Every structure is written in C-alpha cells, then in structure tokens.
C-alpha cells in the first residue's frame, strides 16, 4: 500500500488539472519513480501523457506499482478544497482513494471511490515532427482566444521565416504572423515547412493548465498530429491532437 | 409614528441579510428597545430570531411598538443601493415603509409596501443543549463548502476530545476532525456527547451573513434542533434548525 | 482607399462601444474630417450620432469619403483582442474591413466583411429643449440602477430648483431629488420646467459607454425626445430617445 505526502495540495491540483481539462476518468499509474497517466480523450481525438516524478512530493512511499482509476473532476474539486498550511496525504483504503488534509490537531479526510478501468496504459504515438516552436503559455492562449472569435479551427504553419496561424471564419478571417525573433517566440527550428489544422476547443483544453509565464513546446508536421509539451508544478505533460484534414 | 436614522445603510443591510438569507417575508417588531423579528422559514425547518438594539442606530425615536411586515428581499436590495456619505432615514408613510438616503441637497426616497401578516411573533423553542462549540465564521463556512462537495447533509458530533463532522455521499465520504485545541475551535464545552445530522443548504443560508472573522456559537444535542448564534453589525441573531433523523 | 492608424486599439474600442450598445449594424462614414455615424436603433425609439475627429488618430489618410457597413458587435470583439504595445491599422481590402494589430516582427490581421447598407445617413432631429442638466456619468448610471429596482421606466423632471426623477413601480416607488448645488449636478439651466418619461433599458444602453468621471449632458423638454451627449476617448456622441407618453 502506497503513501504519498504533498507539501501543498494546491500544487498537486494544478498538475492534475492538466489531465482533467481533457479527460473525465482515467487510471493513474503510481509507480516507483512517480505518478503517470497516458489516456485518450473520450472522442479519441486527443491524448494526454502525464508524469510527475517522485521528487515532486514531500514523501513518496510506493513499494509496488498501483493502478488507481479515478474521476478526475471529483479529484480536482477535492484538491481545490485545500487551505493554507496543510499537507495532503494520499493513500489507498480498500477500494477508495484516501485524501487527508492534515494540520495541527485537525484532519479533513476525503475518501474517493476508485473506478475499475481496463488494464494497461495507452501507448504514446511515435511521430517524427518537422518543426518545433517554443513560446510562452500565455501568448499561445491569447492566440487561441483571437482565433475563437472567428472560427472553430485554426491552421498552424511553421516555416524558416516564422510561425503563422490562419483562421477562416464565416465571413471574417484572421491571419497571425510571428516572424523569427518576435518576442512571443523563443525558438523556431524547422526541418521542413509544416502546416496542419486543429480544433480550437481541444487546443484550449490542452493548454488551459499551462502556466502563463511557462514555456509551451509545439511540434508540427504537415497533416500529422500535433504534439504540445509543457511543465506544470514539476509534472511533465505531453498532448497529441489529431489534425483535421483540409480539403483545400 | 417611528423615525429611525442609520448612520451607514451598509451596516443595516448586513444585519438585515441575516434574515433575508432564510425568509422572504416577515414582520419586524419595532419596539422601544430595538428592532426584533422571530420567524420560521417557509418549510418550517428553520427559525431565525433577530434583535438589533436601539443604540446600534444614530437616532431611534419609537413612541410605541410598531409591527411592519416587509419583503426582505426588496428591503435588502434597496439598502444595497446606498453610496458613501449617506444617512438612511426609516419611517412609516401610511401603509408604506419609507426609506430615505439623505446627503447634502440630495434625497433618494424609496417607498416599500408593507405586508399584512398574521399578528404575533413565533416563540423561541426552549432546548437544553448538551454541547457548545465556538469557532470563527469563516472556518464554519469552509467546513460547509467541504461538505457540499460530497452530499446534501452533514452530521455534527461534539465530544470531550473535539468536534467532528461526517458527510456520507454517493461513493465519496468526508470526515472532519477538530481536536480540542485546534486553531479553528476557540472553545468546546460538552456536558454529554451529542450528534445530529442537518441539511447543508439551510446551514449555508444561516451562516451566510456571519462575519468571517466573527465568532459563531453552535449548540448541539443528539437528534435535537441545532442552535447557531452570532453577532452582525450590532445585531444578535440566533437560528434553530431541525435535525434529520438518521436511520443508521 | 483609406488607411487609418490608431495608437491604442483600446481607446478606439471604448469609442465604438458607444455605438454597439445601441445598434448591431450600421454604416460608418469615413470622411476627410473624421469618422461619423448616425443611426436609429432597430426599434426606432433611439438614435445615436457619433463623430470621432481625425486628430484622435495617429495617422488619418482618407483621400475620399468611404461608407463602411459593419457589424459593430464583431468589430468591438476584435478591437477587444488588443494587447499592450500594439498599433491598430484600419484599411479596406476589397469588400472587407482590414484590422491589423502591429508590433515588432508580429502582425495579427482580422478581415471583417463589410455589410451592404442603404445609402444615406439618418438626419439628426431638431428639437429646442427647455432644460439642460449636467452631471457625472457615474452618478447618472447609479440613478438608473436605483430606478431599475423599482420599474422599467423613469420620469425625469427639471425645474428651477433642481433635477428630479420619479419611478412608479408595482407597489414600490422611488423619488430622487437633486437640488441645485448638489454635488451630483454640475449645472442646471431651465428655460421652462420639463418632464418626460423614458424606458430604463435604453437609457442604460445609452450611457453604458460614458466614462464614470466624465460629464453627461441631458437635454429635456416635456413629452419630447431626450437628448444625451458625452465624450468618450475623443469621440463625441449624442443620443435621442423617444418619451413614453404618460396617461396620468
């Protein structure tokens, strides 16, 4: 039986929110090196790969790998109930996940039912992307907000000269141009020009948990799934998102 | 005919909000010593006893007791329209309650219809409670927010050793333990261990008007109505809330 | 073809919002001296007359008058997407209005379809009002908020002695009195006592874009349309609003 202690439940909540924004239920793999999850969203269009290493925790006592199926929305709401100066103790109590907020002479213990899930993690796809663009989380989110005004999809394009986005709406259009060297873009590296179109709702869910001042890494390949990576509170998260095949 | 002047309408609004959160209409008894009200909520599950003494007002000229039936929601909204630097004058104008916000060369007068109510105040129940727990309003509210995540009812338990709460949800459970001496609890005094279960919605309405940093006094007796007391802006408020009879 | 540069898109948004609060679609007349619009709202009860002179812009290159039919809601949302340190370039690209947010090595270009509108501006009504009242925008908005609690219409009255408002609700009444010299009223000038009643919803839409600390000028004449004027970010706006003919 494992016992994990988080020094600040808020931090753990931020990390878990990178999962909850995309999937409702999933199986955490609590292993020797840390807590992981790989799961497709319900529509099978997007995938999240999450890993929080054991040194992100105050205590991490996991004698053998445990698989814990949880409702992430419930988990996130419970984690959100933390107050200042509390540690969070996570353990298993029969078929429930036990979450105890501990302070001096005071304990609040939530018991969350574990969900039976089919065994085995999803496998991460292997894609050789042709372009990598690094930018601040906040800037990427603002770009998505621009696009949402106009349409439900956005086309990203990476070239030697810069990073571009195209949004074709019903009447209104939007074109974004970030030249190499623009403040928004910290790095562009392009092996081959790449262009693909993605659903905005998924992109918004994917980057919602990214820190505004943290870095987002976007991997592009023409008409192939996008990969987006970022770190949140010591956890590493990667997402894959299927492109819409443009007919034009 | 009475004439009452409030130096800051905001203060009077806060006090009145301790009533409006529980009942829509009721009869204020404007007496020689102050303004009182005792009323059951519409479902007859909860009761509020309110008293604001005359020295909480700037002027208090009440030659004889007046009974004023009011819609508290309307009254609270009107009081909420106060701005800085205004006095509020309360009087009766025929069958209307007159509320005048007064500033130099400026007057805003609301006239609110008085409601005919059956005469006579509710009587306050006489219960000898077995346990008293005192805690900060803010802490009590946070405890209710924890509980709402899990179920619609909460069981309180007071023992020599501390104050406890139990919430049994549909799958998820919550147990709160505050040992004697915990920062959240300023006093526990227990004649006999007491435990009873209450509807959360009513508890939330009851404590909504309590100042976060003020003290809430909870009186418990097994399977008997709870009594909750606090002060708000010079008014004293007590509430009674019927327990749910647990079958377990 | 015109080219107009705004140094801060936020400023232009505030000005345009004085239009969008009242009408959805309209025709901007981009002339040699500035940008104007005169339009009735859909219900033909209210009219807005807008003019932003060319010196409110950083660059203003308009060789000949252009008429641009736009959806103001879309325009306002796009203008709202500005971030710090960006200039906005407005031009025409075939049958679209081109809006480019420009910063170093970065360009975001929205193209908004132009709407075909019947040619010709509305004409501004000529009314000789009998009373003029000047007050701060914020105070006027607060007065409307008072009134909305009570009814859907407000009667304004200007007399030698001051400015008054009357709101008769279903049971509840409100009377506001601002004597000449009250802090809220910066000027009253009355040729003949004037009184008329207006729909609150329209009044709220009309003054929504006015700066709280800026001045609003109200022109009254008994049972005639009201005229309200204010400035917002260098633009001058006037509104006309038809009275409700009182039967009492």
Whether C106 and A171 lie within 8 Å, measured CB to CB: no
Determine the pLDDT at residue C30: 97
Subunits with at least 3 CB pairs below 8 A relative to chain C?
A, B
Determine the pLDDT at residue A120: 67
* Listed residue (A18, A7, A4, A9) closest to A231, CA to CA: A18
> Greatest CA separation found in chain B?
66
Average pLDDT of the residues in B164-168: 97
Average pLDDT of the residues in A18-25: 95
Q: Write out pLDDT tens, residues A96-145.
A: 999 999 988 899 999 999 999 877 667 899 999 999 999 999 999 999 99
Q: Write out pLDDT tens, residues A68-107.
A: 999 999 999 999 999 877 899 999 999 999 999 998 889 9
Counting one residue from chain A and one from chain C, the pairs whose CB atoms sit within 8 A come to 52
Determine the pLDDT at residue A173: 97
For residue B179, the chain A residues in CB contact (below 8 A) are 105-106
Residue of B nearest to C179 (CA): B105
Q: Where are the domains of chain B?
A: 3-113, 131-241
Q: What is the CATH number of domain A3-113?
A: 3.70.10.10
Query: Which residue from A83, A104, A110 is facing B172, i.e. has the nearest CB?
Result: A110
- Is the pLDDT higher at A152 or at A246? A152
Q: Write out pLDDT tens, residues C64-104.
A: 999 999 999 999 999 999 987 789 999 999 999 999 999 88
Distance between CA atoms of C21 and C208, rounded to whole angstroms?
7
Whether C183 and B78 lie within 8 Å, measured CB to CB: no
- Measure C149 CA to nearest chain B CA, in Å: 8
Q: Which residues contact C185 (CB under 8 A, 6 or more apart)?
A: C133, C134, C135, C162, C163, C178
Q: Write out pLDDT tens, residues C219-228.
A: 999 999 999 9
Q: What is chain A's mean pLDDT, rounded?
A: 94
Determine the pLDDT at residue A83: 86
| Helices then strands, each counted (H, E), chain A | 4, 18
Average pLDDT of the residues in B136-164: 96
Q: Write out pLDDT tens, residues B23-32.
A: 999 999 999 9
Q: Does the pLDDT value for residue B85 go beyond 90? A: no
**Using 50, 70 and 90 to split pLDDT, how confident is the model at B173?**
very high
Are A131 and C63 in contact by the 8 Å Cβ rule? The answer is: no
Subunits with at least 3 CB pairs below 8 A relative to chain A?
B, C
Q: Does the pLDDT value for residue B248 go beyond 60? A: no
**Using 50, 70 and 90 to split pLDDT, how confident is the model at C146?**
very high
How many other β-carbons are positioned within 10 Å of the β-carbon of residue A120?
10
Whether A108 and B150 lie within 8 Å, measured CB to CB: no
Q: Is C107 on the interface with A (CB under 8 A)?
A: yes
Distance between CA atoms of B154 and B202, rounded to whole angstroms?
11
Average pLDDT of the residues in C42-47: 94
Whether A110 and B150 lie within 8 Å, measured CB to CB: yes
Spatial strand order in the sheet of B25-30: B66-71, B25-30, B34-40, B46-53, B235-241, B226-232, B215-220, B131-136, B185-190
Whether A109 and B174 lie within 8 Å, measured CB to CB: yes
Average pLDDT of the residues in C137-153: 96
The percent helix, strand, coil of chain C (3-state, each to 5) is: 15, 45, 35
- Measure C210 CA to nearest chain A CA, in Å: 26
Whether B109 and C184 lie within 8 Å, measured CB to CB: no
Q: Does the pLDDT value for residue B89 go beyond 70? A: yes
What residue spans of A149-198 are helical by DSSP H?
none
Whether B173 and A111 lie within 8 Å, measured CB to CB: yes
Query: Which residue from A77, A106, A110 is facing B184, i.e. has the nearest CB?
Result: A106
Q: Write out pLDDT tens, residues B231-246.
A: 999 999 999 999 997 6
Determine the pLDDT at residue C183: 81
- Measure A34 CA to nearest chain B CA, in Å: 25
Global pTM value: 0.91
Counting one residue from chain A and one from chain B, the pairs whose CB atoms sit within 8 A come to 51
Determine the pLDDT at residue A247: 60
Determine the pLDDT at residue A122: 78
Residues 144-183 (C) with a CB less than 8 A from some CB of B: 145-146, 149-150, 162, 171-183
Q: What is chain C's mean pLDDT, rounded?
A: 94
Average pLDDT of the residues in A11-40: 95
Residue of A nearest to C74 (CA): A149
Determine the pLDDT at residue C247: 60
Determine the pLDDT at residue B247: 60
Whether A182 and C77 lie within 8 Å, measured CB to CB: no
Q: Work out whether the CA dihedral B144, B148, B150, B153 comes out positive or negative.
A: positive
Residues 68-97 (C) with a CB less than 8 A from some CB of A: 74, 77-78, 81, 83, 96
Q: Does the pLDDT value for residue C217 go beyond 70? A: yes
Residues 112-151 (A) with a CB less than 8 A from some CB of C: 142, 145-146, 149-150
Q: Write out pLDDT tens, residues A134-183.
A: 999 999 999 999 999 999 999 999 999 999 999 999 999 999 999 998 88
Q: Which residue has the tokens 């060789």?
A: C63
How many other β-carbons are positioned within 10 Å of the β-carbon of residue B213?
8
Distance between CA atoms of C68 and C62, rounded to whole angstroms?
13
For residue B140, the chain A residues in CB contact (below 8 A) are none
Determine the pLDDT at residue A135: 95
For residue C111, the chain A residues in CB contact (below 8 A) are 172-175
- Measure C215 CA to nearest chain B CA, in Å: 19
- Architecture label for domain C131-241: Box (3.70)
Q: Is A200 on the interface with C (CB under 8 A)?
A: no
**Using 50, 70 and 90 to split pLDDT, how confident is the model at B178?**
very high
Are C130 and C194 in contact by the 8 Å Cβ rule? The answer is: yes
Average pLDDT of the residues in A213-231: 97
Q: How many Cα atoms sit within 13 Å of C147 on the Cβ side?
A: 27
Determine the pLDDT at residue A121: 67
Q: Write out pLDDT tens, residues C164-213.
A: 999 999 999 999 999 998 888 899 999 999 999 999 999 999 999 999 99
- Measure C142 CA to nearest chain B CA, in Å: 8
The ipTM, to two decimals, is 0.90
Whether C175 and B74 lie within 8 Å, measured CB to CB: no
């Amino acid at each position: 039986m494992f016992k994990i202690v988080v020094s600040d439940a808020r931090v753990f909540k931020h990390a878990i929110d990178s999962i909850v924004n995309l999937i409702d239920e999933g199986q955490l793999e609590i292993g020797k090196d840390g807590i992981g999850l790989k799961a497709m969203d319900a529509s099978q269009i997007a995938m999240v790969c999450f890993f929080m290493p054991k040194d992100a925790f105050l205590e991490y006592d996991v004698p053998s790998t445990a698989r814990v199926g949880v409702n992430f929305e419930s988990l996130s709401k419970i984690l959100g109930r933390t107050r200042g100066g509390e540690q969070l103790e996570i353990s298993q109590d029969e078929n429930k996940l036990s979450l105890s907020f501990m302070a001096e002479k005071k304990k609040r213990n939530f018991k969350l039912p574990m969900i039976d899930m089919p065994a085995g993690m999803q496998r991460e796809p292997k894609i050789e992307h042709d372009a990598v663009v690094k930018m601040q989380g906040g800037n990427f989110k603002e770009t998505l907000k621009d696009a949402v005004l106009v349409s439900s999809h956005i086309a990203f394009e990476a070239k030697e000269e810069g990073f571009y986005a195209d949004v074709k709406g019903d009447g209104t259009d939007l074109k974004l141009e970030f030249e190499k060297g623009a403040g928004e873009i910290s790095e562009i590296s392009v092996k081959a020009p790449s262009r693909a179109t993605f659903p905005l709702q998924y992109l918004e869910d994917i980057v919602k948990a990214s820190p505004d001042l943290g870095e987002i890494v976007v991997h592009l390949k023409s008409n192939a799934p996008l990969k987006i990576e970022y770190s949140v509170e010591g956890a590493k998260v990667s997402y894959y998102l299927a492109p819409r095949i443009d007919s034009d």
